Structure 1
Amino acid sequence: MKILNKASFIIATAAILSSATSCKKLLEENPRAQLYPNYFTTPGGVQAAVTGVYNDLRNTFSGEGLVFYYNGTDETIPGGSAGPNPIVYNSFNGINSSNAPDITGLYVDINTLNGVFQYASSITDVAARTQYVAQAKFLRAFLYFYLVQTYGGTTATQKSGIPLHTTFITQATTADAPAPLADIYNLIIKDLTEASNELPNTITTTNPFSAAGVGKTATAAVAKAYLAKVYLTRGYSEVKQSADFQASADLTAALINTKGTYGLDLWQDYSDVHKPANDYGKENVFAIDFGGATDPLYTGYTLQGSGGFGLNQLYVLARMNYVGPGIDNIPGIDAVPQKLTNKTGMFRDVYGGRPYTRLAPNTRYTMNVAFADQVHDSRYDNTFQTFWICNTNVAAGVKSDQVTLKGKLIPTTGPSTSAYIRPLDGDTAILMPSVDVDMARRDNFKGLIVTPKQFNNVVFPTVKKFDDPKRTGTGDFSSRPIILMRFSEVYLMNAEANYMLGNIGTTADMLNVLRKRAAYRTPDDAQFIAKNAISVTAATMGTVNSANVQAMQLTPAQLAQLSIPNNTSSPATLCGMDLILDEYSRELYGDPRRWYDLVRTQQLVRRNKMYNTNGGPNVQDYHARWPIPQNLINTVLSGPKYPQNNGYN
Structure 2
Amino acid sequence: MKIFKKTAIVLAALAAIGTVSSCKKLLVEQPRTQLLPDYFKTGGGIIAGIIGVYADIRDYSGGESTLYWVGTDEGRQGSSGSSTAQLFDNYNGINSSNTPGFDGRWADINTLNGVLKFAPLANDITDSQKATYIAQAKFLRAWLYFQLVQTYGGTTATEKSGIPLNIEFIEAPRSSEAPAPLADIYNQIIKDFTESISGLPNTITSDNPFSGAGAGKTATAAVAKTYLAKAYLTRGYLTEIAQPADFQKAADLSAEVIANKGVYGLDLWQSYADAYKIENDYGKENMFNIDYGLGGSDENYTRYQQQGDGGWGINFLYVVWRWDYIANAGIDNNNNIDAVPQTVSTSKQPMRRDNYNGRPYARVAPNGPYLYGTLWPAGQIKDSRFDATFQTFWIYNKPLYPAAGSVAPGLTSAEVAAGKTGAGSKGALIPTSNFSETAYNIPVDGDTAVLITDRDVTMARRDAFKGLIVEPNQINNLRWPTVKKFDDTRRTRLNDKSARPIIMLRFSELYLINAEANYMLGKTTEAANSLNVLRTRAAYRNPSDGDRIPKHAFRVTAANMAAANAANIAANQLSASELAQLAVAYNKTPGTALNGLDLILDEYSRELFGDQRRWYDLVRTRYLVRRVKMYKGATAPSSVDAVQDFHMRRPIPQSLIDAVLTGPKYPQNNGY
Same fold at TM > 0.5: yes
Partner amino acid for 2:308?
Answer: G
| CA shift digits 1:273-321 (9 cap, x unpaired) | 1000000111101121112223333312211111121210010001011
- Residue equivalent to 1:494: 514
Q: 1:37 maps to what in 2?
A: 37
Alignment partner, residue 105 of structure 1: 104
The CA distance in 1 between the partners of 2:155 and 2:507, in whole Å, is: 32
CA distance in 2, matches of 1:77, 1:340: 24
Q: Residues 337 and 76 (structure 1 numbering): CA distance in 2 closer, same or farther, change over 3 Å?
A: farther
User: Structure 1 regions of 5+ residues with no counterpart?
Assistant: none
Q: How does 1:73-152 map to 2 (within 5 A)?
A: 73-124=72-123, 125-152=126-153
SS at match of 1:616: helix
From 244, 247, 256, the equivalent of 1:245 is 247
What stretches of structure 2 of length at least 5 have no aligned partner? 403-407, 412-421
What amino acid is the match of 1:321?
A: D
Q: Aligned partners of 1:96, 1:337: CA distance in 2, in Å?
A: 40
For residue 436 of structure 2, the aligned residue among 404, 410, 416 is 416
Query: Counterparts of 1:13 and 1:458 in 2: how far apart (Å)?
Result: 47
Distance 1:637 1:18, change over 3 A: closer
Give the whole-Å Cα distance in 2 for the aligned partners of 1:80 and 1:153. 35
Partner of 2:554: 534
Instruction: Give the aligned residue type for 1:365.
Output: Y
Aligned to 1:549: 569
- Secondary structure of 1:285's counterpart equals strand
Task: Judge which range, 426-435 or 72-81, deviates more.
Answer: 426-435
Q: Give the corresponding residue for 2:417.
A: none
Q: 1:572 to 1:183 in 2, by over 3 A?
A: closer
Contact 1:11 1:171 survives alignment (8 Å): no
Larger CA deviation: 552-561 vs 328-337 = 328-337
AA partner of residue 326 (structure 1): G
- What displacement does 1:333 show? 6.1
Alignment of 1:445-594 (within 5 A): 445-594=465-614
Q: Identify the residue that residue 342 of structure 1 maps to in structure 2.
A: 347
Instruction: Tell me what 1:318 maps to.
Output: 321
2:300 maps to what in 1?
297
TM-fit CA distance, 1:35: 5.7
Query: How big is each residue's C-alpha offset from its partner over 1:444-481, in whole Å with a ceiling of 9 and x where there is no partner?
Result: 21222111111111111100000001100010000001
Note the 1:561-640 alignment, pairs <5 A: 561-613=581-633, 614=636, 615-640=639-664
Which letter does structure 1 place at the counterpart of 2:354?
A: D
Structure 1 residues 617-626 or 536-545, which shifts more?
536-545
Pair 1:273-2:275 in alignment: yes
Aligned partners of 2:12 and 2:35: how far apart in 1?
11
Partner SS, residue 533 of structure 2: helix
The offset of 1:7, in angstroms, is: 4.4
Distance 2:157 2:642 in 1: 25
Cα shift at 1:85: 0.7
Alpha-carbon distance in 2 for matches of 1:16, 1:205: 35
- Alpha carbons 2:9, 2:51 under 8 Å: kept: no
Q: Distance in 2 between matches of 1:202 and 1:403?
A: 59
User: Are residue 644 (structure 1) and residue 632 (structure 2) matched?
Assistant: no
Cα distance in 2 for partners of 1:216, 1:499 equals 31
Aligned residue identity for 1:240: A
Superposed displacement of residue 334, structure 1: 3.4
Q: Could you say what secondary structure the match of 1:105 adopts?
A: helix
Contact 1:6 1:109 in 2 (8 A): no
TM-score normalised by the chain length of structure 1? 0.95
Task: Describe how 1:343-382 pairs up with structure 2 within 5 A.
Answer: 343-373=348-378, 374-382=380-388
Distance 1:221 1:35 in 2: 32
Q: What is the distance in 2 between the residues matched to 1:137 and 1:57?
A: 15
Q: Could you tell me which residue of structure 2 aligns to residue 388 of structure 1?
A: 394
Give 3-state SS (helix, strand or coil) of 1:77's partner.
Answer: strand
Asked if 1:6 corresponds to 2:45, the answer is no
Q: Distance in 2 between matches of 1:404 and 1:417?
A: 28
Q: Please report how far the alpha carbon of residue 597 of structure 1 lies from its aligned counterpart in structure 2 after TM superposition.
A: 0.4
| C-alpha displacement of 1:405 | 1.9
The CA distance in 1 between the partners of 2:342 and 2:78, in whole Å, is 15
Deviations 1:617-644 (A, max 9, x none): 1110111000000111112110000000
Per the alignment, residue 221 of structure 1 pairs with 222
CA–CA separation in structure 2 for the residues paired with 1:392 and 1:528? 20
**Pairs aligned (count):** 639
Shift, 1:235, TM fit: 0.6
How far apart are the structure 2 equivalents of 1:15 and 1:471? Answer: 37
Amino acid at match of 2:96: S
SS at match of 1:465: coil
Corresponding residue for residue 174 of structure 1 = 175
Q: Provide the C-alpha distance between the structure 1 equivalents of 2:423 and 2:119, rounded to a whole number of angstroms.
A: 78
Secondary structure class of the residue paired with 1:491:
helix
Q: CA deviation at 1:2?
A: 2.0
Match in the other structure for 1:407: 427
Please say if residues 369 and 473 of structure 2, whose CA atoms lie closer than 8 Å, have aligned partners that are also in contact.
no
- Give the Cα–Cα distance (whole angstroms) in 2 for the partners of residues 103 and 195 of structure 1: 24
Q: Distance in 1 between matches of 2:301 and 2:218?
A: 10
8 Å CA contact 1:385, 1:462 repeated in 2: yes
The aligned residue for residue 157 of structure 1 is 158
Letter in 1 for 2:444: L
Q: Would the aligned equivalents of 1:15 and 1:176 in 2 still touch at CA under 8 Å?
A: no
The answer on 1:331 being equivalent to 2:351 is no
Residues 466, 639 of structure 1: CA spacing in aligned structure 2 closer, same or farther, 3 A cutoff? same
What SS is found at the alignment partner of 1:477?
A: coil
> Matches of 1:206 and 1:5 in 2, distance apart?
19
Q: Is the 1:390–1:412 Cα contact (8 Å) retained in structure 2?
A: yes
Tell me the amino acid that sits aligned with residue 361 of structure 1.
P
Counterpart CA distance in 2 for 1:295 and 1:372 is 45
Does the CA contact (< 8 Å) of 1:288 and 1:481 recur in 2? Answer: yes
Give the superposition deviation at 1:34: 9.5
What amino acid maps onto 2:649 in structure 1?
Answer: R
Aligned-residue identity in percent? 56
1:303 counterpart letter in structure 2 = Q
In structure 2, give the amino acid aligned to 1:327: I
Structure 2 residue matching 1:375: 3-state secondary structure:
coil
- CA deviations 1:362-389 (Å, max 9, x no partner) are 0111221112232211111110001111
C-alpha distance in 2, partners of 1:263/1:514? 19
Deviation at 1:343, TM superposition (A): 1.4
- Residue 174 (structure 1) shift: 0.9
After alignment, is 192-201 or 386-395 more displaced? 386-395
Rounded to whole Å, the distance in 2 between the matches of 1:103 and 1:365 is 30
Change beyond 3 A, Cα 1:441–1:636: same
Structure 1 residues 256 and 566, CA gap change in structure 2 (3 angstroms): same
User: What amino acid is the match of 2:316?
Assistant: Q
User: How far apart in 1 are the matches of 2:293 and 2:424?
Assistant: 53
Cα 1:349–1:360, aligned 2, differ >3 Å: closer, same or farther? same
Q: C-alpha distance in 2, partners of 1:80/1:337?
A: 19
Task: Work out the CA distance in 1 between the residues paired with 2:655 and 2:37.
Answer: 29
2:415 match: none
Alpha-carbon deviation of 1:19?
3.1
Partner in structure 1 of residue 60 of structure 2: 60
